[in-house]
């Protein structure tokens, strides 16, 4: 790895190039691959083709060049064999590092992806290397090669000449045909851990004589997301931004991040449901230059950190976390439940894209925080069911009880109880007990039939209940104040309770709705369909209609309507015009709307 500092005669080289690993000892975070290759070189089990895959900036191209050096390594005095232990520059090393060695061809598949390019490669590999031990072909971004070009490479890749080695690199391994993958030895390069990356950046800062604090290193390492090249580019930018001295504030301003301690303050305000404090804190961070979407992303990141500490306390020792995150994160993990943390995580995952695509990101972030604060003190489904059961069916209230109204209170919520069984194995009929009737000062309303109940639901504009009564309820017995019913499969849950409660509210008297095991009468919908079928059958039997249907083959009767008297009279010819009275009666009986 190069240590030289730039001089007046040398142009400045970015850190990503200046500190590019030259040997496997310099490569960080890829221990599994280095161990495998080391053993392979020591035992002479060197494969003919290698496939390197991983995200950007983890060392794919660098590893390919180091492999090319190791394959062709010769000490200055000559001799030697393939090895990954290269104590110094060999005869071919500098030319390979500079990408100018005649026997090491480095191609970009993005611009050399056609079948003609592959044909040139397959023709060229037949010839022995000029000066090195092996002729090495390095093809970067190999997933961009066309299907026809891949097919042209198959035979050469499967049985290459003994002096040829292939090294492929790609970020999109799924786009590489399986026929190519099966002929290569594959290595998946991992993202570099944030703690290891921070130590690597710290060592580079020492060599560059740059002062940087630990929090700034951790922020750059987190922002790089495991990519060494990204971290070095950010460090280069931070050095220029800070003028040789880097602190957390300068890095935070450069990246548009929020203060970690203030992110934790925002997290605490959200988790205790303090919407006013949360919105004020977000506004303050926005005024200082923080991006609302980035603030929510950091809030989600801290939520994830607290969840990890909640599950495994050892996660608090993460080297990429700051001291304030470790201390306050551990305290919050002991107070918060997994259900609350996972609920906040899910809501943030939906809110962050909304904020990123919104025309006004701050307003969108405010609405996300408002939803989070509202949901902070909501009970979980399990708690809600338990409270509902313990309270005998009364739903728990989130806030203080409201004062009693001046008018007489409405009937309370109905409760579902079990009626006595009639036989040991007979299904238990359930009944919904409506509450006690309201005060005597309120007049009650009597209902004489089940049809009047349906009409009352329509009168109260409760269409869901009306449709449910028509489609799913079979009448077993009816009396004013008591209703025995059977339900069809697929009926809405809680229909019995809802019906009992609403009847009590609407009629101001107690109603008992019992779910019976008897079959009961047909539903109102079935009765209406039966009546419609009977009318349709009668219409089809009419000679006039039958004659029309025969006159127009394929015609169907789609609807039956009753004609208004005015329309009927307008279709009949006037007797004064000389028309036949029988014809008038026949025209009055049938109209165009009947067919």
pLDDT at 258: 64
CA distances from 15 to 145, 203, 204, 238 (A): 31, 12, 9, 12
When pLDDT is averaged across residues 67-77 and rounded to a whole number, the result is 87
Closest CA to 60 of 229, 212, 175, 181: 229
Provide the pLDDT confidence category of residue 431 given band limits of 50, 70 and 90: very low
> Which of residues 79 and 154 earns the better pLDDT score?
154
**pLDDT of 400 above 90:** no
pLDDT at 136: 92
> Which of residues 64 and 12 earns the better pLDDT score?
64
> Which of residues 192 and 11 earns the better pLDDT score?
192
- Strongest mean pLDDT among 152-156, 286-290, 366-370: 366-370
pLDDT at 493: 81
pLDDT at 113: 82
Provide the pLDDT confidence category of residue 574 given band limits of 50, 70 and 90: very low
SS3 535: helix
pLDDT in tens, 503-513: 888 888 888 88
Give the full edge-to-edge strand order of the sheet including 104-108. Answer: 104-108, 135-140, 164-170, 49-53, 185-188
pLDDT at 568: 39
Closest CA to 125 of 184, 66, 165: 165
> Which of residues 244 and 440 earns the better pLDDT score?
244
CA distances from 381 to 41, 377, 394, 442, 486 (A): 59, 12, 15, 38, 29
> Which of residues 251 and 243 earns the better pLDDT score?
251
SS3 27: coil
When pLDDT is averaged across residues 347-370 and rounded to a whole number, the result is 93
**pLDDT of 591 above 50:** no
pLDDT in tens, 161-186: 889 999 999 999 999 999 999 999 99
Residues 335 and 312: their CA atoms lie apart, in Å, by: 15
87-91, 200-204, 455-459, 464-468: which range is least confident on average? 87-91
In the block, residue with structure tokens 């009409």: 455
278-282, 535-539, 583-587: which range is least confident on average? 583-587
**pLDDT of 2 above 90:** no
pLDDT at 564: 52
pLDDT at 538: 81
62-66, 203-207, 214-218, 424-428: which range is least confident on average? 424-428
CA distances from 225 to 220, 222, 345, 380, 475 (A): 9, 5, 19, 34, 66
SS (H, E, C) 168-209: EEECCHHHCCHHHHCCCEEEECCCCCHHHHHHHHHHHHHHCC
For helices 495-507 and 463-472, what crossing angle results, to 10°? Answer: 120
pLDDT at 502: 87
pLDDT in tens, 513-523: 888 888 888 88
pLDDT in tens, 257-266: 667 788 889 9
> Which of residues 541 and 377 earns the better pLDDT score?
541
**pLDDT of 551 above 80:** no
What are phi and psi for residue 104, nearest 5 degrees?
-120, 105
Closest CA to 588 of 564, 566, 571: 571
When pLDDT is averaged across residues 559-577 and rounded to a whole number, the result is 50
**pLDDT of 449 above 80:** yes
SS (H, E, C) 65-130: HHHHHHHCCCCCCCCCCCCCCCCCCCCCHHHHHCCCCCCEEEEECCCCCCHHHHHHHHHHCCCCCC
**pLDDT of 376 above 50:** yes
The mean predicted confidence, pLDDT, of the chain is 80
Provide the pLDDT confidence category of residue 561 given band limits of 50, 70 and 90: confident
**What is the fold, at CATH topology level, of the domain defined by 30-188?**
Rossmann fold (3.40.50)
For the domain spanning 196-376, the CATH number is 1.20.272.10
Residues carrying CATH 3.40.50.300, the chain: 30-188
Residues carrying CATH 1.20.272.10, the chain: 196-376
pLDDT at 396: 52
């Amino acid at each position: 790895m190069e240590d030289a500092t730039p001089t007046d005669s040398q142009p400045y080289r970015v850190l990503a190039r200046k500190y590019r690993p030259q040997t496997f000892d310099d490569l960080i975070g890829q221990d599994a691959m280095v161990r495998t290759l080391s053993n392979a070189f020591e035992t002479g089990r060197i494969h003919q083709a290698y496939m390197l895959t991983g995200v950007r900036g983890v060392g794919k191209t660098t590893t390919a060049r180091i492999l090319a050096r190791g394959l062709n390594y010769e000490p200055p005095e000559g001799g030697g064999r393939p090895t990954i232990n290269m104590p110094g520059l060999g005869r071919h090393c500098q030319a390979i590092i500079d990408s100018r060695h005649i026997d090491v061809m480095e191609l970009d598949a993005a611009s050399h992806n056609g079948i003609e390019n592959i044909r040139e490669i397959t023709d060229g590999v037949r010839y022995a290397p000029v000066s090195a031990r092996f002729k090495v072909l390095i093809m970067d971004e190999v997933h961009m090669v066309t299907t026809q070009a891949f097919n042209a490479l198959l035979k050469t890749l499967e049985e290459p000449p003994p002096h040829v080695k292939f090294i492929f690199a790609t970020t999109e391994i799924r786009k590489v045909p399986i026929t190519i993958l099966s002929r290569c030895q594959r290595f998946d390069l991992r993202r570099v851990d944030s703690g290891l990356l921070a130590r690597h950046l710290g060592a580079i800062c020492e060599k560059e004589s740059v002062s940087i604090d630990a929090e700034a290193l951790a922020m750059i390492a987190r922002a790089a997301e495991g990519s060494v090249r990204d971290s070095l580019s950010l460090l280069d930018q931070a050095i220029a931004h800070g003028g040789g001295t880097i602190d957390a504030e300068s890095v935070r301003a450069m990246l548009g991040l929020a203060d970690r301690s203030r992110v934790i303050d925002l997290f605490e305000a959200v988790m205790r449901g303090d919407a006013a404090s949360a919105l004020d804190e977000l506004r303050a961070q926005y005024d200082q230059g923080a991006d609302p979407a980035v603030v929510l992303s950091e809030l989600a990141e801290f939520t994830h950190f607290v969840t990890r500490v909640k599950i495994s306390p050892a996660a608090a020792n993460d080297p990429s976390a700051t001291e304030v995150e470790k201390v306050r994160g551990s305290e919050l993990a002991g107070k918060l439940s997994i259900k609350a943390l996972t609920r906040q995580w899910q809501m943030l995952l939906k809110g962050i894209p909304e904020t990123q695509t919104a025309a006004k990101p701050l307003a969108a972030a405010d609405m996300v925080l408002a939803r989070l604060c509202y949901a902070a003190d909501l009970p979980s489904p399990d708690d809600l069911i338990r409270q509902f059961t313990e309270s005998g069916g009364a739903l728990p209230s989130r806030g203080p009880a409201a004062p009693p109204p001046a008018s007489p209170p409405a009937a309370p919520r109905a409760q579902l109880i079990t009626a006595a069984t009639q036989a040991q194995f007979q299904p238990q009929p359930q009944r919904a007990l409506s509450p006690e009737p309201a005060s005597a000062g309120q007049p009650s309303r009597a209902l004489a039939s089940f049809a009047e109940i349906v009409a009352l639901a329509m009168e109260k504009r409760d269409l869901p209940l009306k449709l449910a009564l028509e489609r799913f309820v079979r009448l077993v017995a009816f009396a004013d104040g008591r209703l025995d019913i059977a339900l069809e499969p697929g009926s809405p849950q809680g229909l019995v309770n809802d019906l009992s409660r609403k009847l009590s509210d609407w009629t101001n008297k107690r109603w008992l709705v019992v779910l019976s095991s008897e079959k009961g009468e047909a539903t109102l919908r079935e009765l209406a369909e039966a009546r419609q079928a009977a009318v349709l059958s009668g219409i089809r039997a009419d000679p006039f209609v039958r004659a029309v249907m025969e006159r127009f083959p394929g015609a169907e009767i789609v609807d039956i309507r009753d004609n208004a008297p005015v329309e009927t009279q307008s279709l009949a010819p006037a007797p004064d015009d000389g028309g036949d009275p029988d014809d008038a009666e026949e025209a009055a009986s049938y109209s165009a709307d009947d067919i």
